[in-house]
Amino acid sequence: MKVAIIHNQLSRGGGMESYLLALLRGFTGAGDEVHVHTYEVDPQVAGLFPCTVHRSNLFPLPRRLRKYWFLHRCNTRFNRRDYDLSLSLTRTACQDIAVIGGVHPESVLRAGWRNPYRRLHDKAEIGFESRMLAGVPCILAHSRSIREDILRHYPATDPDRIRVLYPPLDTGRFREVSAGKREETIRKYDIRQEGMTLLFPSLGHRRKGLHTLVKVFARLDPDRFQLLVAGEAMTGYHAPVNVRYLGYIDNLSALYSAVDYVVLPSSYEPFGLVVAESLQCGTPVLVTRGVGAAELLAPDEGVVVADNQPRTLLSAIQRLEKMRVPPGFARRNGLLIDQHVEAIRRFARERA
Q: Domain limits of the chain?
A: 2-168+336-351, 179-332
- What is the pTM for the complete model shown? 0.88
Compute CA distances 272 → 63, 105, 127, 151, 337, whole Å.
25, 18, 25, 21, 17
Q: What is the pLDDT of residue 108?
A: 85
Residue 2, amino acid: K
Radius of gyration of the chain from Cα atoms?
21
Residue type, position 179, single letter: A
- pLDDT number for residue 63: 78
Report how far apart, in Å, the C-alpha atoms of 336 and of each of 143, 171, 287 are: 16, 7, 22
179-332 and 2-168+336-351 share a CATH fold: yes
Question: Beta-carbon neighbour count of residue 257 at 10 Å?
Answer: 22
Q: What is the pLDDT of residue 293?
A: 94
Angle of CA points 102, 105, 109, to nearest 5°: 105
What pLDDT sits at residue 341?
A: 95
Task: List, in sequence order, every beta strand (DSSP E) within the chain.
Answer: 2-6, 9-10, 33-38, 40-41, 52-55, 85-88, 97-100, 138-141, 162-164, 196-202, 225-231, 243-247, 261-264, 285-288, 302-305
Amino acid of residue 296: L
- The tens place of each residue's pLDDT in the chain, 352 residues long, gives 999 999 999 998 777 898 999 999 999 999 999 999 999 999 999 999 999 999 998 878 787 899 999 999 999 999 999 999 999 999 999 999 999 999 999 988 877 777 777 788 899 999 999 999 999 999 999 999 999 999 999 999 999 999 999 999 989 889 999 999 999 999 999 998 899 999 999 988 888 889 999 999 999 999 999 999 999 899 889 999 999 999 998 889 999 999 999 999 998 888 999 999 999 999 999 999 989 999 999 999 999 999 999 999 999 999 999 999 999 999 999 999 999 999 999 998 887 7
Q: How far apart are CA 41 and CA 177, in angstroms?
A: 31
pLDDT at 197: 97
Q: Residue 344's pLDDT is what?
A: 95
Q: For 175-225, what is the HEC assignment?
A: CCCCHHHHHHHHHHCCCCCCCEEEEEEECCHHHHCHHHHHHHHHCCCCCCE
CATH of the structural domain 2-168+336-351, one choice from 3.30.70.2860, 3.40.50.300, 3.40.50.2000, 3.90.660.10 = 3.40.50.2000
CATH superfamily of 179-332: Glycogen Phosphorylase B; (3.40.50.2000)
Nearest to 54 by CA among 7, 2, 95, 1: 7
SS3 content of the chain, % helix, strand, coil (to 5): 40, 20, 40
Please report the pLDDT score of residue 18 as a whole number: 87
DSSP letter, residue 252: -
Residue 349's SS3 state is helix
Biggest alpha carbon distance in the chain? 62
| Under 8 Å between Cβ of 56 and 38 | yes
The three-class DSSP label of residue 340 is helix
Q: According to the model, what pLDDT value does residue 268 have?
A: 83
